[in-house]
Structure 1
Amino acid sequence: MGKGFYISKGVGIVGVILGAGAVATIIALSVVYSQEKAKNNEVKPTEPGTTTNPTATATTPTPSNETWDQYRLPKTLEPIHYDVTLRPHLKRDPVNGLYIFTGESTFHFKCVEDTDLILIHSNKLNYTTQANGHTATLTSVSGAEAPQIKNSFLWDVTQYLVLQLNGKLTKDSEYKLYTKFHGELADDLGGFYRSEYKEGNETKIVATTQMQPTDARKAFPCLDEPAMKSYFNISLIHDYGMVALSNGAERESVNITIDGEKLVKTSFEMTEKMSTYLLAFVVCDFGYIESTSDKTLIRIFARKSAINAGQGAYALNKTGPILKFFEKYYNSSYPLPKSDQIALPDFNAGAMENWGLITYRETALLYDERFSSNSNKERIATIIAHELAHMWFGNLVTLRWWNDLWLNEGFASYVEYLGGDNAEPDWGVKDLIVLSDVHRVFAVDALASSHPLSSKEEDIQKPEQISELFDAISYSKGASVLRMLSDFLTEEIFTMGLRTYLKEFAFGNAVYTDLWRHLQMAVNQTGTVLPDTLENIMNTWVLQMGFPVVTINTTTGEVRQQHFLLDPDSNVTTPSDYNYEWIVPMKWQKKEAVQPTFWLTKKSNSTEIMKVTGSDWVLANINVTGYYRVNYDDGNWDRLLNQLATDHRIIPVINRAQLVDDAFNLARAKIIPTVWALKTTTYLNKELEYMPWASALNNLDFFSLMFDRSEVYGPMQDYLRKQVTPLFYHFKNITGNWTNVPKGHMDQYNQVNAISLSCKTGLEECQDLVKSWFQQWMTTGNNSIHPNLRSTVYCNAIAAGGAKEWEFAWLEFKNSTIASEAEKLRSALSCTKQPWLLNRYLEYTLDPNSIRKQDATSTIVYIANNVVGQPLAWDFVRDRWYYIFTEYGGGSFSFSNLINGITKRFSTEFELKELRQFKEDNSDEGFGSGTLAVDQSIERTIANMKWIAENEENVLEWFRAETKA
């Protein structure tokens, strides 16, 4: 699944759009790709003309310790194939007023152990009583008599349809289970659900799916675990003129009549052997464009108006080349005849890698050069690459259980940069993984409440536990660690092992150690020398949480490591078999000379090679390929800072970003003084590159959060304005007074940084500029603001304006038919300084007619990024928690982002008490996938309080002194 931030991979841009204080939370929105769970207490729809067995719609009232109490399926049945026919009703049911779907399924399975019990996953489905008086009919494939069903009921706790038999199924025999059912086609963004949009004045309905991780069971009864791979025959019944899509290619489409209504039944070719979470089916009134890459049919589906406007062309042009890139990378042909990609108006994740039918948010697939920024374009290229990477890694070879999710998503999150770089080689997109993933996840993994990449299988059982794994650790740490692995092995050896792994486990399931075994084979085959076995090296990164800070003493040559914690006083309760010691591959250089890789295999080591004399310096973790931070002795820090001040270009651009990021975080951990970290920003008035600026703004964002309600904020703004003013005029000059677009991809990003920070810190020329552009749009109705600049211009103009500007932007948002433009306006509306407007905007987030459900939680976080809006958002969420939690679902991936987003500014005893009270008051209802986020927020608030107490006075003095200098 694609991360659900979902702005682009140029995440630093979006941060400065909302002001320098927004980067961290906006990045957090990327992770993860989000999924809404259905309401727990829905009204169950009844299909007209059918009856429902009462025992099949209610949980058995008496608790028990039976097999159906277990969340994992027993190993008694093995799926062979499913024949599933579904009919989504795209008009409200006249009896109950709900949208419903009806269906029937024949499940063909093999018995692998004698059993008198059938458990099959089912959630929020109602079953039609069969002739035998039960919910299902069981037959034997061999013709022999099958056991009769003596009792059937739904067990809601573990989401099973339970069928108790009066005899036993026989080992190695095959059976068929027939069911007829119906459910609500709800707008809950999970399972088989509905999406709505307007085309002109007409409201149109789309029936679509999101199965990952455990919602295929909401569409039809199935063995809904990733290891239970099967073949699927899917048929969809729909109205004339509608488009029907599924994983397989269309086999036939025939006219049928049901109750006098003329309909169409579209059937699809049987799928390859695959997991239930990768199933997809859509019925819609969309248009499409197509092309062929080798023998693969590629189609882009979207609203007809979007297709007619050419918004699918960029995705179509890039899909073929990216597919070919991965075919070469994996040394494996794409295994399906088609690759459909569809942009949905309502979709909570960034995208989903359904095999042969990838689903996307509109902003993740549709591009219009009149409205879309280079950031939007980059996002499309990298998300397409992410999802296509899954066609092999995840779909062809699938994780055995969800505890290995990190390998699936971490791998795709790493190679999306390779695929994106292949699609747009002039962008330098591979470098951005450092900002978007490595630095991003460092912030989470440096907490004592973090968790290891790999969980124990027995610890991940419930759907909400599975959903909680879709976080920054799985995506971004997974990507960072795999990138480090590929780097120290070399890409050639990495892909060699990857290819044999895919070949052995094709159409099957694997665990992460299977990949280590194949990579070790490649290491052995090439004679590569490592300090230990690959599995032992990687276990130190996979089986324990956190990461090390490596300290180099260039005077003595000592190199040592320790577990890096943002709050060194925090209590680490998670045990580690490796005692928080890592096997660390270190790429480093002396002055400008790159040195051979140094392996730190224990807590400390002394080596002559790390010693320097005179003005020489040591710089470790070149290009930040290693997943660790670096500290130095005082003398080496002084020499590096001096190098930045005299000629910063001697230090590689990624490492300039690294020095800033490491220094600020080392200071937060009390390893170096805070003023040392601030010194890494003094050279920025000469820096023109994007990555160092983005790193600095990301870290100064923390200072904004901590001090934007104190006297430090004024001098801090004065200092930043002084530093950014040369950058502002640089871009004014090279763009011909803002009339041209910078040529470089990163330069376009940094132009946004320049304008955003200049306006935010009060540079009058900047503020006049953006207000004049916005006023011209309001006056003439002609929006001539370049798409790259719109987000920051909208935000700053709305912040400087009042109700008139806000109302204008709101109407533009409501009338926008371009998803990327609507997204820019939606974020900018949160920038107003008027509390009453922000309160009204918060109310809109819970009205799907105003803000789509997929955007509700991120909109609340946008408002919380605003210093005026933060307390309003906090009060709003506390007051409405029960409603938000039950309406938007306890398993929603977005709850962790919501909780972290509204509390990240917390830094007082009063706020800590409120946070703890919030946890206590809602302990019965719970927090779903946000459970860990609550504890992380408490830990972060305590650390923030300590940090302010220790640093406020020194920081204030430093900013005052630097402003006067």
Structure 2
Amino acid sequence: MPENTGLSKIFAGAFAVLTVSAIAGLVTMIVVYKVEISEMNPTPRPTPPSTTLSPPPVMRLPGSLVPERYIIFLQPHLYTKIIQEVNVTSPNQTMLFTGNSTLHFRCVQKTGQIYLHSRDLAISDPHLVDKDTNDRIKVNSWKHHEDETDFLELELNGFLEAGGNYSLSLSFEGAISQSLDALFVSTYSEGGPASEDDTDAERFLAATHLEPTDARRLFPCLDEPEMKAVFELTVIHRRGTTALGNGAQSVSNVLDDEWKYTRFQPTQLMSTYLFAFVVSEFKSINSPSRVRIETYARPEAIDAGHAEYAANITGQILAYFEELFDIEYQPNKLQQIAVPDLNSGAMENWGLITYQEGALLYEEGVSSFLRKEVIASTIAHELAHHWFGNLVTMKWWNELWLKEGFATYWSPFAVDKVEPSFKIKDVEVMQELHAAFEEDALESSRPLSADPGEVQTTSEISGMFDSISYSKGAVVLRMLANVVGENVFNNGIRMYLKEHQGGNTDQNDLWDYIELARRDKSGLRAAQLMDPWTNQKGYPVITIDTKNGEIRQKQFLLNDTMDSRLRKEEFISKKGEWILANVDCYGYYRVNYNPENWQRLLTQLETNPDRIPLMNRGQLVDDAFNLARAKLIDVTLALNATRFLSKEREFLPWESAERNLRYFTLMFDRTEVYLQEKVRGLYSFFRNYTDESRVPSDQSLQHNQIYAIQLACSNGLPECIEMAQDKFAAWMNGNGTNRIHPNLRTVIYCQAVAAGGKKEWEFAWGEFQRATDPSEKEQLEYALSCTRKTWLLNRFLEYTLDPEKIRLMDVASTISHISENVAGQLPAWNFVRAHWDYVSQGDPVMLINQVTRRFSTTFELKERTTVTSAGMWLIDGWLEYFARDKESHSAFRAMQQAIEETKVNIQWVRDNKDAILEWFERETAHLD
């Protein structure tokens, strides 16, 4: 709402119409104005202690040194291929890298020690020079701290003087990782899958992924985001390979018969986590753009045109951001590369963005049309980071949202600009809103801007990469833009970026420039406005009583609802009318009403749902179910909110309803007959398209067609299951010809494998092994998890321990998919506990979240202790026991959240089981 609109005017006009967007602003302002807040003074820049003779802070580097430039030489000794020749001893793969670096720095406080970060590196030959006098300073000793600091401490024979300029050279060596972090090896097959006797088909490349704290595993450095410097890199690599780095290539020459070197131009001033290089045999395609853009991938993927879609849109997205922020992209080139193995979907390294293949490559006729949405959104997210994260960086990881929240917020704007037919903004807003709601409803949640003292260790830093930073960050920014006005918000962002480019910020710097952009200075300052949303965990639920005009506010928690900061206003609703608050869901809060208003809203949904905006149709369902979980409304009211679905054709309401009813399925497995009836009309709406393996031209309808098939088949609609089996059988019997439309493959593969047996599963496994398109492999991997045969699911779980069968980056998603299957949840949980050290190398947070979603009994929460016949005590560790020794793990907070959610589930089932089962029996009685 415009910031100069008064509350009295809103109340006067709120009930003149049934649904007005001013209501959203009303409740937003009620929330932000009535929360008890304190003045937020900008956090001062850290000042170094008066002396540096004592040890540094427990986890943070002392402020005595300021880096300026790194000159780095790196040589990965990896072979890109292992050739087997008759009567010739073949070389073994060499998982070693060596290097040396020179750090140029200023000393700002006198000190007799130098502290750097270094982990898993063998350090030698320290050489310290006073650049002002050209004198060498002796290093008496050096040691790695055997704790979580990762400090490399050098004891000097003398002191570095404040104001002096110095250089420190070190040699080092380390191991190339096989766990997709630091400098790691990635494998792929040349031209397709390798046969058992064709070892020449296997290829290797070396790539880096250093976020958040793995630069120290590549070279000794000051590995904190505020310690920005310029990087000059030279890579020594094998002939026949290409080296890519952050900077443009400067020189590349042959050294001997085996080696060459590539030197790169100096980078912009940047943080260590953005440092990157790749050595490979990949090819590239260029993009039309002001900036030189090259997209790299496996040679056969480039030759087949799989990188063309990404190459075509990258320049357009980049130009959109340049115009929006009024700052040109800084480096003189942009390279993006599809890496066969990468733990995250992508990484925004400045000038060299790395992507999982499925997030960058698109194969016509094989990839789903909707895969383009994934590619466009991922590219937009990573390019947004070049302003939020790269150009302007958060001071410390406790405010990670200043880069991830912004990138998530801006991504759909860019996609909507270059691909308006996708209509992606509403869908992405709702996805981020619900992801934030789900995590932030727990007592174990955290503030968006966490206390820096609670984010110190590597595991604590890694734990910040969650839905709070990404999703809550984005929806809170959207709410702020709505409150102050989009033009004010955008102008403030431009000033913020221009003022702080090349530097580091905290949230107070952001609020200062939003405030500077506001012409009307009345009311709360931006910092006061945003304090409760960023410095407190959780979110409110606003309860509006339309009978007496009372408005109440409480913190929303699944396991408790505590009164806090209440506000009452007197107003009278027109008799018989409903009130809808938070129109288009700009506010980050849930809304509850008195039962009479709820009933009027549900009646409106059943009679003429189009009078309620699309996003609110989805949000009413989501609010109702979650308010019921928190015991704020009766659970049968939430179930009644799904009755209108039989006439609903839009995606968002169905997505919201299915996601919430999935919770009932997880707890009871009792929604099948009810949803089967509700989805019958939706399935019939797309029946002709589906039977003929066609899809609608409208992108949003394509989403809903997939949803119709998924819901209809998974809830046992006979005609849907028959369709899936017939189409899958035609593929199996068609000599390799697959006529299933790419859009529909994920859902049809899954439902056919679920309805089938060993033959269907093994056919899917064979196709998975043969597939080269990453989209097709993802679809088949998901389908394999859908079987109802427990022994096949156990076989699939065992396959995840073999990287030749399931890539390490896919282990977490594979186990998570299996755990979603009612037949696979218990085997998946047992498997995770038994093989935690290996499977947690992927995405441990996702693993914990997924495999515990069905937990709803004390048996699953508590550990069990038993005595064997030999008198030995055995502990069968369930959730609480499993979490006890994981405190230092990055997934520990996810484990605590899983424990809390399990307790919520236990109580919820106890309280609601009888009422829910009675409701389903009553609603489905006429179907018997």
Same-fold status (TM-score > 0.5): yes
Does the alignment pair 1:232 with 2:231? Answer: yes
How many angstroms apart in 1 are the aligned matches of 2:447 and 2:400?
A: 12
Distance 1:234 1:478 in 2: 34
1:209-228 aligned at under 5 Å gives the runs 209-228=208-227
- Quick one: which of 167, 181, 186 aligns to 1:190? 181
1:620 aligns with 2:581: yes
Match of 1:263 among 242, 259, 268: 259
Q: 1:110 aligns with which of 90, 106, 109?
A: 106
Q: Is the contact made by 1:451 and 1:546 (CA closer than 8 Å) also made in structure 2?
A: yes
1:378 equivalent to 2:373? Answer yes
The aligned residue for residue 800 of structure 1 is 755
Contact 2:883 2:892 in 1 (8 A): no
Match of 1:70 among 58, 62, 66: 58
Aligned to 2:622, which of 661, 670, 673? 661
Aligned residue identity for 2:77: H
Partners in 1 of 2:304 and 2:749 — Cα distance? 24
How far did 1:95 drift? 10
- Give the superposition deviation at 1:920: 3.1
Q: Distance in 1 between matches of 2:145 and 2:91?
A: 27
CA–CA separation in structure 1 for the residues paired with 2:694 and 2:817:
30
Instruction: Give the C-alpha shift of residue 953 in structure 1.
Output: 1.6
Aligned to 1:753: 707
> For residues 491-518 of structure 1, what are the alpha-carbon distances to aligned partners after superposition, in whole Å with 9 as ceiling and x for unaligned?
1111111111111111111111100010
Distance 2:879 2:601 in 1: 45
Q: Which residue of structure 1 lines up, in the alignment, with residue 912 of structure 2?
A: 951
2:162 pairs with 1:171? yes
Letter of the structure 2 residue corresponding to residue 194 of structure 1 = V
Deviations 1:521-543 (A, max 9, x none): 111xx2265x4111111001001
Q: Which residue of 2 aligns with 1:82?
A: 70
Residues 464-506 of structure 1: per-residue CA shift (max 9 Å, x gap): 1100110111111111111111111121111111111111111
2:865 pairs with 1:901: no
Note the C-alpha offset of 1:67. 2.3
2:444 to 445, 449, 458: 449
What is the Cα deviation at residue 740 of structure 1? 2.6
Which structure 2 residues correspond to residues 128-207 of structure 1 after superposition, within 5 A? 128=124, 130=125, 136-157=126-147, 158-200=149-191, 201=194, 202-207=201-206
Tell me: CA distance 1:947–1:923, structure 2 relative to 1, closer, same or farther (3 Å): closer
Aligned partner of residue 335 in structure 1, secondary structure: coil
For the structure 1 residues 726 and 763, does the alpha-carbon distance in structure 2 shift closer, same or farther, using more than 3 Å as the test? same
Matches of 1:314 and 1:81 in 2, distance apart? 37
Corresponding residue for residue 859 of structure 1? 814
CA contact (8 A) 2:693 2:740 kept: no
Deviations 1:777-814 (A, max 9, x none): 11111111111111110111111111111111111111
Q: How does 1:405-420 map to 2 (within 5 A)?
A: 405-420=400-415
TM-score scaled by structure 2? 0.89
Among candidates 495, 520, 530, match of residue 527 of structure 1: 520
Q: Within 5 Å, give how 1:434-833 maps onto structure 2.
A: 434-523=429-518, 526-527=519-520, 529=522, 531-568=523-560, 603-608=566-571, 611-708=572-669, 713=670, 716-733=671-688, 735=689, 737-780=691-734, 781-833=736-788
C-alpha spacing 1:862/1:119, structure 2 compared with 1 (3 Å):
same
Match of 2:360 in 1: 365
CA separation in 2, counterparts of 1:69 and 1:95?
A: 46
- Residues 410-448 of structure 1 show CA distances to partners (whole Å, capped at 9, x for unaligned) of 111111111111121122211013331101221111111
> Contact 1:68 / 1:162 at 8 angstroms: preserved in 2?
no
Q: What secondary structure does 1:221 align onto?
A: coil
The answer as to whether partners of 1:68 and 1:160 remain within 8 angstroms in 2 is no
Give the conservation status (yes or no) of the 8 Å contact 2:886–2:892: no
Asked if the contact 1:68/1:155 (under 8 Å) is kept, the reply is no
Deviation of 1:556 after TM superposition, in Å, equals 1.1
- Residues 97, 729 of structure 1: CA spacing in aligned structure 2 closer, same or farther, 3 A cutoff? closer
Which of 428, 431, 434 aligns to 1:433? It is: 428
Question: For 1:13-28, what aligned pairs fall within 5 Å after superposition?
Answer: none
User: Which residue identity does 2:654 align to in structure 1?
Assistant: W
Report the AA paired with residue 894 of structure 2.
A
Q: Distance in 1 between matches of 2:568 and 2:524?
A: 16
Q: Which amino acid aligns with 1:606?
A: E
Given the superposition, is the C-alpha separation of residues 695 and 921 from structure 1 closer, same or farther in structure 2, using an over 3 Å criterion? closer
- Which structure's relative contact order is higher, taking Cα pairs within 8 Å and 6+ residues apart? 1
SS at the partner of 1:254? strand
AA aligned to 2:859 is: F
Contact 1:85/1:104 (<8 A) preserved: yes
Runs of 5+ consecutive residues of structure 1 not aligned to the other structure: 1-64, 131-135, 573-579, 582-601
Shift of 1:927: 6.0
Counterpart Cα distance in 2 of 1:675 and 1:262? 72
Range 365-374 or range 837-846, more displaced = 365-374
Cα deviation 1:107-144 (Å, max 9, x = unaligned): 1111111111111111111134x3xxxxx111221234
Match of 1:318 in 2: 313
Greater CA deviation, 942-951 or 474-483?
Answer: 942-951
C-alpha displacement of 1:926: 4.4
Relative distance call for 1:307 and 1:846 in structure 2 (3 A) is: same
Counterpart residue type for residue 907 of structure 1: S
After TM superposition, the structure 1 = structure 2 runs for residues 266-415 of structure 1, keeping only pairs within 5 Å, are: 266-294=262-290, 296-415=291-410
Query: Are the structure 2 counterparts of residues 95 and 395 from structure 1 closer, same or farther at C-alpha, using a change threshold of 3 Å?
Result: same
Q: CA deviation at 1:914?
A: 3.7
Give the 3-state SS of the residue equivalent to 2:568 in structure 1.
strand
Partner AA of 1:481 in structure 2: V
Note the alpha carbon deviations across 1:546-573, whole angstroms, 9 max, x for none: 000111111111112111111227xx8x
Greater Cα offset, 296-305 or 174-183: 174-183
Could you list the per-position Cα deviations for residues 893-926 of structure 1 after superposition, in whole angstroms to 9, with x for gaps in the alignment?
Answer: x212111211110111211114974443563454
Map Cα deviations across residues 819-864 of structure 1 (whole Å, 9 max, x no partner).
Answer: 1110111111111111111111111112111111111112111111
**What code does the residue aligned with 1:704 have?**
T
CA apart distance, 1:362: 0.7
For the 8 Å contact 2:691–2:723, the answer to whether it is kept is: no
Distance of 2:392 and 2:902 partners within structure 1: 42
TM-score of the superposed pair, with normalisation by structure 1: 0.85
Secondary structure of 1:604's aligned partner: coil
After TM superposition, give the deviation of residue 649 of structure 1 in Å. Answer: 0.8
- The Cα offsets for residues 308-366 of structure 1, whole Å up to 9 and x where unpaired, read as 11111111111111111111111111111111111110100111111111111111111
Matched AA of 1:897: M
- Tell me the SS of whatever aligns to 2:547: coil
Counterparts of 1:378 and 1:352 in 2: how far apart (Å)? 18
Structure 2: how far apart are the matches of 1:273 and 1:823?
38
- Which residue identity lines up with residue 420 of structure 2 in the other structure? P
Supply the distance in 2 between the matched residues of 1:312 and 1:244 (Cα, whole angstroms).
Answer: 19
- Counterpart Cα distance in 2 of 1:630 and 1:922: 35
8 Å contact 1:146–1:169 — kept in the other structure? no
Query: What is the CA-CA distance between 1:374 and the residue it aligns to?
Result: 3.2
Report percent identity of matched pairs.
46
Q: Answer whether contact 1:895 1:927 (CA < 8 A) is retained.
A: no
How many residues are paired up?
Answer: 844
Cα deviations across residues 740-784 of structure 1 (Å, max 9, x unaligned)?
A: 311211110110111111111111111111101111111111111
